Amino acid sequence: FEFETILALEMLQKEDLSEKAFTLIDENGKEFQIDTFSSHHHPQQHGHGGHHSQHGHGGQHHHPQPHVNQQMIHRRRTLRLLTRCCSLLPMRPFIDGKREWTSKLSHSLAAFNHVTTVYHTNLRNSIESAICWFYCHIDNGVRPHQNVLISPAFLKELALSLKQLPPEPCSAMGVLIEQFVLRFADINWNTVKKLPDTQKYKMITVEFEQLQRQFPVFNKTQFAIQNCMQFFYQICTLVKELGDAQILRNAVVQQFENAYEYLRELGVWDAICFMEVNQHKM
């Protein structure tokens, strides 16, 4: 994750890799709160005297939607931070290129991808410039002759070096990991982990099969999820170290600590460890 880690560091320094909600503004100046709960689907709880009923056509009563509570807000913030971090990873290592993306999209991650792309482009341009400078100025301590710089062999070698740079990040990685965590919450792993390994293996295999059907573009679904969680764990560790060194503000560090703890309470880290130990069976 060398390139992605540097990318994350650049964004963390500017506090652009966070759980903050996005507000989009169109060409007419209209604002869109794409990262907040919809009042239609999650009405806020009213105090005394604030009771109201929802009526449909013909005076029919509709069942009220679940109220927004602190746990839902915490889960939304954790997922926002987790999916944004995972969206820094490329999708290419986990697909065979034979299938197109046919699953759902995320407007929130699509908006975040615009921010990521700016950082990625600047970082990639810097690396490409450094590689070109190295090739054009250093050859056993002597600057290459002009004829060498325009020779086909030299240009081919330079092109191959530039081609090896990491591919662009992809918001699809964030979409995949979000669905994994949401589905995982229904498993109740803290109870499941007490079962024999064979039963745990069977249950988690079923979940991967369903994710595979939901996201057919991935041919290495388990590997993609493991990489996402390993990367997020690495970023959480790095953020803590930078916080201890007072390079990052405590508010930034707290976001990652809260997300890490939420996933721990959910049993995600324990399940990822189980997956890695038993991956030869899955």
Full DSSP string of the chain: -HHHHHHHHHHHHTT-SSSPPPEEE-TT--EEETTS--TTTSPPPP-TT-----B-GGG-B-PPPPPP-HHHHHHHHHHHHHHHHHTTS-SGGGB-SSS---S---HHHHHHHHHHHHHHHHHHHHHHHHHHHHHHH-STTSPPPHHHHTSHHHHHHHHHHHHTSPPPP-HHHHHHHHHHHHHHHTT-HHHHTTS-HHHHHHHHHHHHHHHHHH-TTBS-HHHHHHHHHHHHHHHHHHHHHHHHTTSS-HHHHHHHHHHHHHHHHHTHHHHHHHHHHTTTT-
Weakly modelled stretches of the chain, pLDDT under 50: 38-65
Q: What is the pLDDT of residue 257?
A: 94
Q: What is the pLDDT of residue 201?
A: 83
Q: What is the pLDDT of residue 183?
A: 84
pTM given for the model = 0.75
Q: What is the pLDDT of residue 47?
A: 38
Q: What is the pLDDT of residue 232?
A: 95
Q: What is the pLDDT of residue 23?
A: 73
Q: What is the pLDDT of residue 58?
A: 42
